[in-house]
Amino acid sequence: MGIFTDEFDLAGYVKQQAMKIDDLQNRELFRDIIGDMFSELYRHMYAEYHGLEQRMLAEVSRPAEVPDVMTGLCRREDYDQTDKELYPLDAADLLEPEIPAADVLDHLQQGESYALFPVFFAGETATLQKLIRERHRFSGVVKSGFNDVAATFELRPCRRYLQQIEALYGVTNLNALPWRSILAPYLYKFAEVWITSVEGWTGEQTIERIMLDYAEFRDIIQEKMVPLWNIQPYQALTSAYPEACMDRIAYEHRLYAHQFPAGGQYLLDQSDAAVRSVRWQGGDLIITCDQRERESWPLLRFYPVRSAEKYGYRVYGNQHDQSFARNLMAAYGQRVKTRAEVERFLWSFACMRDFSLQDLRLRQAAGQAATYCTDEFIGYEFRTGSREYTLELDFQAKQEDYRNLDVLSFLVTNLQHYFPEYNCAGRLV
């Protein structure tokens, strides 16, 4: 413990040292001199030391970045539409899907399958991918007002939620912000149910209900589940007439600070306008584009989420701590390739509290990785050869959970961005 830390107690230290002096007169003299004179000197040195520390830290400011993205899950019937923290990724998920019998029959008669609805797989992502890859068939019935007919079904990838994450990557580029990987373990566990065949069905009948027999997966595959996040669309109109730039081609659109309700953060969403730049100035949003007239701008509002759990499911986020080391790395791109630095980087994420790093090693012959890349849609690296070494990481989970490997995949993906010269692979031990 240093003498200029908040934990150091000067008065207690002086008292402790004084008790070591046997002579009472000398003990009193020690207290008078050290307790009075030295305490004033200490307070002055303490203020100067912390002032120097703050000036050093201020030289490397916190970089601008995308707001925290929080994700959750709920049953359709449990969602509160007045919720001010989490919103459905797809508002249509709150409605009972209508399945057109004629379209289903038309596709089946042409030898094609038909997508019905998404389901959530409350198990390991690798198991779900195996079911999809092997095209595992499930039996079931299609119920109408007249009779029930047998049908077969299979699970296929559900991409529509992950595509919204990909769209968010484009939004960060539009706002000139560095990308932050999204921790969304629930989204990788959704699959689409497709009907592949039906017996004795006519298109004139109305589909009232479709019932599947998930067999040994009946407790894991769940219907009517809604993925959530803390992002909601928002519209704002240019506050005044756009001002022409010096080139008389582009125009600046200003959206005043009072147009943005407090309690959230905002990013400009994709629009038809050819946007040149986006910047914030004194709480106002200034958009430089080719539009001469006032525009209604699409924005994304990011809400703060204080709940660790909602609707019976844990809320996950990509939030990380703010430290001088992280800001220094972001500003200068300098990395220290040590185990301590890897641990510091991993522990900067809140979700790392559920794990401990047991071991890490560099190997030329890579083992079997259990994690996957959560940013596989990013293809910005051009290399002439493969990475020579693999950085293997062994983690231990504090509790068993079917989402553990998905959270680890998020952590390892972030580490991959941090050490692009290695293949980063993680596993649970």
The tens digit of pLDDT for each residue in 111-161 reads 899 999 999 999 999 999 999 999 999 999 998 877 888 999 999 999 999
Beta strands 423-428 and 390-397 are parallel
**253, 153 contact by CB (below 8 A):** no
CA 239 to chain centre: 32
Residue 386 has pLDDT above 80, yes or no: no
Average of per-residue pLDDT across 46-65: 73
**Which pTM value belongs to this model?**
0.82
Q: How confident is the model at residue 67 (pLDDT cuts 50, 70, 90)?
A: very high
| 3-state SS, residue 188 | helix
- Give dist(CA 95, CA 75) in Å, integer: 12
**280, 177 contact by CB (below 8 A):** no
162's tokens: 């992950």
Average of per-residue pLDDT across 52-68: 73
Q: What is the pLDDT of residue 41?
A: 77
The tens digit of pLDDT for each residue in 6-43 reads 667 766 777 777 788 887 778 778 777 776 777 777 77
Average of per-residue pLDDT across 339-364: 91
Long-range contacts of 141-144, Cβ-Cβ distance < 8 Å, separation of 24 or more: 141/210, 141/211, 142/195, 142/198, 142/201, 142/207, 142/209, 142/210, 143/207, 143/208, 143/209, 143/210, 143/211, 144/101, 144/205, 144/206, 144/207, 144/208
List helix spans (H) across 122-236.
125-133, 160-174
Cα–Cα distances in Å, from 86 out to 165, 227, 309, 353? Answer: 16, 9, 11, 23
List helix spans (H) across 2-70.
10-18, 24-32, 39-59
Q: What is the pLDDT of residue 364?
A: 85
Q: What is the pLDDT of residue 64?
A: 74
Average of per-residue pLDDT across 241-264: 91
Residue 365 has pLDDT above 90, yes or no: no
Q: What is the pLDDT of residue 263?
A: 87
- Give dist(CA 407, CA 395) in Å, integer: 11
- Give dist(CA 93, CA 392) in Å, integer: 39
Average of per-residue pLDDT across 54-59: 69
Average of per-residue pLDDT across 53-72: 78
Strand partners, 151: 140, 198
339's tokens: 């185990």
Q: What is the pLDDT of residue 314?
A: 97
Q: What is the pLDDT of residue 328?
A: 66
The tens digit of pLDDT for each residue in 159-218 reads 999 999 999 999 999 999 989 999 999 999 999 999 999 887 766 677 888 999 999 999
CA pseudo-torsion sign 273, 276, 281, 283 = positive
Q: What is the pLDDT of residue 278?
A: 94
**76, 224 contact by CB (below 8 A):** yes
Indicate the burial class of 119 (C-beta count within 10 angstroms; 0-12, 13-18, 19 or more).
buried
- Residues in Cβ contact with 33 at an 8 Å cutoff, skipping those fewer than 6 apart: none
DSSP string, 287-318: EEES--S--EEEEEEEPP---SEETTEE-EE-
Residue type for position 229: W
Select the more confidently predicted residue: 376 or 184. 184
CA 27 to chain centre: 60
Residue 59 has pLDDT above 80, yes or no: no
**195, 114 contact by CB (below 8 A):** yes
Q: What is the pLDDT of residue 380?
A: 58
Residue 354 has pLDDT above 80, yes or no: yes
How many CA atoms does the CB half-sphere of 222 hold within 13 Å? 16
Q: What is the mean pLDDT of the chain?
A: 87
- Residues in Cβ contact with 207 at an 8 Å cutoff, skipping those fewer than 6 apart: 99, 100, 101, 104, 142, 143, 144
